Structure 1
Amino acid sequence: MLPKPVARMRRVALIGLAGALAVTMSACASQRGSGGGGGANDTFVFGAAGAPKNFDPIFNDDGESFRPVRQMYETLVTYKAGTTELEGDLATAWTPSDDAKTWTFTLRQGVKFHDGTPFNAAAVCFNFDRWYNMKGAAAQSQMIYYGDVFEGFAHNEGDTNGDPVYKSCEAKDDNTAVVHLNKAKGAFPDAFGLTSLSMSSPAALKQYDADAVTQTGDSFSYPAYATQHPTGTGPYKFESFDKTNNTITLVRNDDYWGEKAKTAKLIFKIIPDENARKQELAAGTIDAYDFPNPADYNSLKQAGDQVLIRPAFGVTYLGINQKNNPKLQDVRVRQAIEYAVNKDQLVKNKMPEGAYVQDQLLPNNVPGFTDQVAKFPYNPDKAKQLLAEAGASDLSLNFYVPTEISRPYMPNPVDMASAITEDLKAVGIKVNVVQEPWNGGYKDDVQKAGKQDLHLLGWTGDYADPGNFIGTFFGRQKPEFGFNNPEIFNALSNADAQTTPDGKKKAYEEASVLISQYIPAVPLCSSPPALVVAKNVHGLVPSPLTDERFYTVTKG
C-alpha cells in the first residue's frame, strides 16, 4: 500500500482492458514470484517496425527505441500492466511534501544492476545528477523528455526557458532517496515513470563514458554505453545488436530481483515493412509484431493468430512549421489547411476500426479535452476563400513524411500523407513531398532542424496527464513548429503548476482552447493500435501506453 499522501495523488486508471484482449496476465510487480522457461520455446522473437536509436534511456524519444530499453531497465514508479494506473517499481512508496517540491522515495531492497553493483539511493541520485548536469550535445539530444519535464539543465543547455525544475537529490540512507525541486509540477509523480528516466548503473555509466555524445550538424553519435553496454536492473540483459542481420538479442537476467523472465532469450527482429512482418509471422520466424494493417485483422484471426487491440491513447497531427514560410504565420492560412483535410475519409480509409476524428490534440479520455475548442470541419470552399483572403492562393509547401516505420498513430504514414496531399492540392496548395527514413533523417530534420513546412507525426501518451500531450508539443519554442506565442506558453506553464485535479482540468481546458484557435498543428485523429501474436504465445498484456513488458510471455 502507498502512504496516504501518495494515494490521494494517484491517478484513477483511465483504461482497463477487457480480459478477452489480454492473454493470461501475470501478477503485478509487487507480487512477483519465480519463473523460467526451457526447451524449444525458450526464445521469443518480436518483429520490430524500426531500429532503435540507441539503448541509453535518457537519449531516446521513440517507441522502437523504448521497446528493448523497457525490457532491460526499470524506473522508480511504473504503470500497472494494461492500464495507465501508477504502481511501484524500483520504489515501493513515494511521498510528496505539502508544497510538492520534495519527493521522498522508499526504495526496493536487494536489487542489483546487471553488472552486479547495488541499486540504492546513491545510484538514484547519481542518475538524477547526471541528467541535470549534462552539457553540449548530450543535453541537446535529450530535450524531448528530460527537457520537457525538468525544463532545463544546470548550465542552461538546450532550448529551455527559465529555471530548471530539478534542484538536488539526497541519499538519506541506502533505501531512501529524496528529490528536491525548485517548483511544484503537476506531472509528478506519473512522470517519474517515464522510460527516459530509467535507472542506469553508475559504474557502467562511468566505465563506458556515457555522456560523450558528439554532434555533427543535426545528427548525434553515441558512446559505447548507449550502443554496446546498456546496464539496467530489468529482467533481461543486453547481449548484442547485429546490424547486419537487423537483430537485437537480450538474455534472461537470472539475478533479477523479481519474477524471472519466462524465456531465456528475447530477440527483436527489425522488419520495417508491415507486410513482411505479417509474412514472417505466418512462416513462424517471428512470434509477434506491432501495428498490423487494420485490413488484415480478420485474416490474421482466421489464421489462428491473436489480434490484441489497445485502447486509443494517442493523437495524430499534421504539424505546421511557421519558420520557413511567412505565409504560414497567417492564422487564416493555417485555418485553410485544416479546412482542406478530409479527416472523416482519412479515418475511414487509412485508420483501424475504433479510430475517431480529432479537433484537438488530446485523447478524449484525458483531462483537458473539451468541446469548447475551435472547430474547422472539412470545407474545401472555405479553405480556398481563406487562402485568397490571405494572399496565399499560390501557396507551395514542403511536406515531410517518414518512411521505414509504423507508429501507433500512423500505421502507414506514406499512405496517410498521400491522402492529405491530394486534399491540399484540391484547394490549390502546391505540395512537395519529402520522404525520409524515421531514424535516418526524418526526426532530426523535423524536430531538431525544422526544415519542413508540413510534417506528419503523432504521440502516444506516456502517462495520463494532459501536459504529456499539449505540454510536450507546445510548452515552449520548438524547431518542429517554429512559432513564439507567450500566451500559449504561459497557459501551459500555469496548467502544469496545478497539483489538484480540478485546477489542472480547468487550466488545461483553457490551454486547449487557445491552441485550437492558434492552430500550430492540425489534429487529425486518435486510433486504437493493435499487436498480433501467434496462437501459441501467452502472457502478453497490451498496454494503452504501448508499454508492453515481455518477461511474462510464454510459448507452447
Structure 2
Amino acid sequence: MSSITKKSPAILAVLATAALATSACSSSKSSSAGGSSSGGGKSIPVATANDINAKDASTLKGGTLTLAIDQYSSQWNGMTNNGNEQDTQKVLSTMMPQLFHFDATGKATPNADYLVSADESTVAGKQTVTYKLNPKAKWSDGTPITYKDFVATWKGEEGSAAGFDVASSTGYDQMASVVRGADDFTVVVTYKTPFSDWKSMFDQFDGGGLYPASKVSTADGWNKSYMNAIPVTAGPFKLEGMDPTNKTVSVIADPNWWGAKPILSKIVFRAIEDTSAQADAYNNHEIDAFEVGPQSALYAKIKDTTDSTVHYAGGPDWRHISMNTQSPALKDDAVRKAIYQALDRQQIADVDLKNLGTWKPTVLNNRFFVNNQTGYQDNGADVAFNPTAANAALDAAGWVKGGDGIRAKGGVKLNLKWIEPQGVKTTSNEAQMVKADLAKIGVGLVETPVNSDDFFDKYINTGNFDITAFAYTGNPFPVSSGAPQIQSVTDPKNIHNNPRLDSNPAIDQALTKALEDTDPTQAIADANAADKLATDQASLIPLYQRPQIWATKTNLANFGSFGFQDYDWTKVGFTS
C-alpha cells in the first residue's frame, strides 16, 4: 500500500453511490504481448466500475498468493480502535464472517455462506430485523455460528459496557435487543429508533464484524483474545501462522469450509513498511500484487514492469490532515481554523497525485461524500486558502509572533509535532509543504518519523501527536461510515475512530438525525449540515479523494482495484 490508512467502520446507509460516467481501465505490459501503454492517459473511475481482471473462477489455477501490507498488526479484533486498520481488516476478511457481498455499484446482497435470509419488518411499532443463519456455518473450533455470537458482538459494540475498546458503536447503540428467534440459527434484532443501515450490522466491509461469543463476551476477552493472535475464525481460509520476525501472516484454505472451495491454497501477507521497498519486491517477483496508491514515484517504478497490470478504480477513500484538539497549541478554534486557511490544499493534491494518468487532482471539501458522488457538496468556502485572513485571525485571537517568527500566547507556542510513519514518502512530502505554508502565518512544524507498526497504536490512537496525515478507507455507504470520524469523544481511552478527540453536541445531534433518516434526500441534507459544523470545528481537514491503483501480475485474476466491491477470496486465482 502507498500510505497508512484507517478503515471507516463498515456501516451501510440508505444512500446509493454515484460515479463518474467512465468505465474501468487497466494497463498491462507483458513480455509476450510486446507491451502496451501504461496508466498515463487513462481515466480513473469512481464507484460503479472496478478493475479486477474478472474471470470465471472455474477456469483458474490455485497456488500461493503473496501480498504486501503496510504494517504487522498486534490487535486482530477489527472492531477495536487499534484493529480498525485497513491492512488488519484485509487479512481478517479471508478468515472471518462476511454477512453480505457488495457488487461494483455498492449494492448489498446476503452471503449465502452465512445467511439464508435477512429481512426487515415492523413489530409492535418497532423496526425489527430477522436473520436466518446458514446452519452449516461454524467457527474453526467446531462451534456453530448462532444467535449467541450476535448477542456478544452487540454487547461489545453498543458502547455502554465498561472497558470495551470500540472503534464505533454507530447502529449498535440504536438496538433495543438482540435475542434468539425460533431456534439458535434465528436472530431477532429490535431497534429503539429507525436505522436504515441495518444491513451493515455484524458485518465489516472487507474485514471482521462478527466474533465468537466464546472469545468476546467479556471486556477482557474483547480487548485481549485477538491480541497478537487469531484464535478462532470462520471463513474460507484459516490461520496457518504468524511470524513477527519476518512480519508475515499466512492463511491456508480451511478444509472444513462449507462454501465454495477457494482456488488458492495459501495467501501470505507480508508487511513491508517502506512503500518503495514494496515496489522493489514486486519487480523482483517476491510479491504478486501491491497497492501503488497516489504515489507517482511508485507508479514510475512499476508502470513498465513486464508481466504486470496496473488497475484503476475510484472508491470511497480520501486523504486528510488531522489535528489533535487536546494539544495545548490546538485547543483554540481560531488556531485550527487559521491553519485550515493557511494550507494550500490544491498544491498538496497536485503534488501527491501528479503523473497518475488523467486523474484530476481536486480538493475535497466534504467528509461524507467524495467529489463525484451523489450528495457531494462543497462545504469549504469559509476555510478556502487565504493566508492573509489566517494571519489576521491569529492576530485578533492574541497570538503574537516572537523573535523566531513563531506565535505564542499565555506561555504556549504554536510549534506543532507532525507525526509520520517512516518510509511513507507521501506523508513526508506533505509535511514539507505544510511546514512551508504554516511558516507564513507564524506556526512551526517539527517533522517526527515513527515506526510504521507504531503509527496508530502508540501515537495517533493515544493522542501522542499534534498534527498528521493519513487516509480513511470507506465503504459504499457514505453517511454511516463518515459519522464516527466526527462524533464526539468522551473517553480519550476509547476514541471511536476519532483521534482528534472532538467534542461538539451540535455535530452529534446532526449525525443522529442523518442516521435515523429514512428518506435518502433528507439524509444527504442532514449529513451535509453535520459536515458544515465539522468544517467550522476545523480539526479534520479533507485533502482529496484517493485513487485506488494496484499493480498485479498479469496472470492474477479476480483481484485488483475493487472500488465499492468487496473481496471474494474464494474466486481469486491465477490464469496460468
Which TM class, normalised by the smaller chain length?
0.7 to 0.9
Task: Return the letter of the residue paired with 1:275.
Answer: S
Instruction: Tell me which residue corresponds to 1:476.
Output: 488
Identity %: 18
Q: Secondary structure at the match of 1:356?
A: coil
Asked if 1:25 is matched to 2:32, the reply is no
Q: CA deviation at 1:502?
A: 1.9
Instruction: Tell me which residue corresponds to 2:220.
Output: 212
Q: Which moved more, 1:287-296 or 1:499-508?
A: 287-296
Distance in structure 1 (CA, Å) of the matches to 2:353 and 2:566: 21
TM-score (norm 1): 0.82
Q: Secondary structure at the match of 2:130?
A: strand
Task: Return the letter of the residue paired with 1:475.
Answer: Q
Asked if 1:435 is matched to 2:453, the reply is no
CA contact (8 A) 1:494 1:507 kept: yes
Asked if 1:361 is matched to 2:381, the reply is no
Q: CA deviation at 1:122?
A: 4.3
Distance in structure 2 (CA, Å) of the matches to 1:231 and 1:385: 58
Asked if 1:323 is matched to 2:326, the reply is yes
CA contact (8 A) 1:170 1:179 kept: no
Task: Return the letter of the residue paired with 2:97.
Answer: E
Matches within 5 A, 1:240-255: 240-255=241-256
Q: CA deviation at 1:344?
A: 1.2
Aligned residues: 506
Instruction: Tell me which residue corresponds to 1:108.
Output: 134
Distance in structure 2 (CA, Å) of the matches to 1:74 and 1:463: 19
Instruction: Tell me which residue corresponds to 2:304.
Output: 302
Cα 1:191–1:129 change in 2 (3 A) is closer
Task: Return the letter of the residue paired with 1:429.
Answer: V
- Deviations along 1:192-213, one digit per CA (max 9) or x if unpaired, are 432566333445x28xx98536
Instruction: Tell me which residue corresponds to 1:6.
Output: none
Asked if 1:399 is matched to 2:399, the reply is no
Q: Secondary structure at the match of 1:97?
A: strand
Query: Which structure has the higher relative contact order (CA within 8 Å, separation 6+)?
Result: 2
The one of 334, 337, 342 equivalent to 2:336 is 334
The one of 119, 123, 144 equivalent to 2:145 is 119
Cα 1:521–1:368 change in 2 (3 A) is same
Structure 1 residue ranges without an equivalent (≥5): 1-8, 28-32, 152-163, 215-219
Task: Return the letter of the residue paired with 1:97.
Answer: S
Distance in structure 1 (CA, Å) of the matches to 2:213 and 2:61: 31
Q: CA RMSD in A?
A: 3.1
Distance in structure 1 (CA, Å) of the matches to 2:160 and 2:242: 26
Asked if 1:86 is matched to 2:108, the reply is yes
TM-score (norm 2): 0.79
Task: Return the letter of the residue paired with 2:555.
Answer: N
Matches within 5 A, 1:139-218: 139=164, 141-142=165-166, 144-145=167-168, 147-151=169-173, 165-195=175-205, 198-203=209-214, 205=215, 211-212=219-220
CA contact (8 A) 1:228 1:240 kept: no
Task: Return the letter of the residue paired with 2:447.
Answer: V
Distance in structure 2 (CA, Å) of the matches to 1:77 and 1:23: 19
Instruction: Tell me which residue corresponds to 2:4.
Output: none
Q: CA deviation at 1:545?
A: 5.1
Q: CA deviation at 1:177?
A: 1.4
Distance in structure 1 (CA, Å) of the matches to 2:476 and 2:315: 13
Cα 1:434–1:194 change in 2 (3 A) is same
Q: Which moved more, 1:300-309 or 1:477-486?
A: 477-486
Instruction: Tell me which residue corresponds to 2:34.
Output: none
The one of 389, 413, 438 equivalent to 2:427 is 413
Q: Secondary structure at the match of 1:334?
A: helix
Q: CA deviation at 1:383?
A: 1.9
Distance in structure 2 (CA, Å) of the matches to 1:23 and 1:168: 38
Distance in structure 2 (CA, Å) of the matches to 1:200 and 1:49: 24
Distance in structure 1 (CA, Å) of the matches to 2:115 and 2:372: 28
Q: CA deviation at 1:467?
A: 2.8
Q: CA deviation at 1:133?
A: 8.8
Q: Secondary structure at the match of 1:381?
A: helix
Distance in structure 2 (CA, Å) of the matches to 1:344 and 1:299: 25
Q: CA deviation at 1:238?
A: 0.5
Matches within 5 A, 1:46-61: 46-59=67-80, 60-61=83-84
Asked if 1:496 is matched to 2:506, the reply is no
Matches within 5 A, 1:233-244: 233-244=234-245
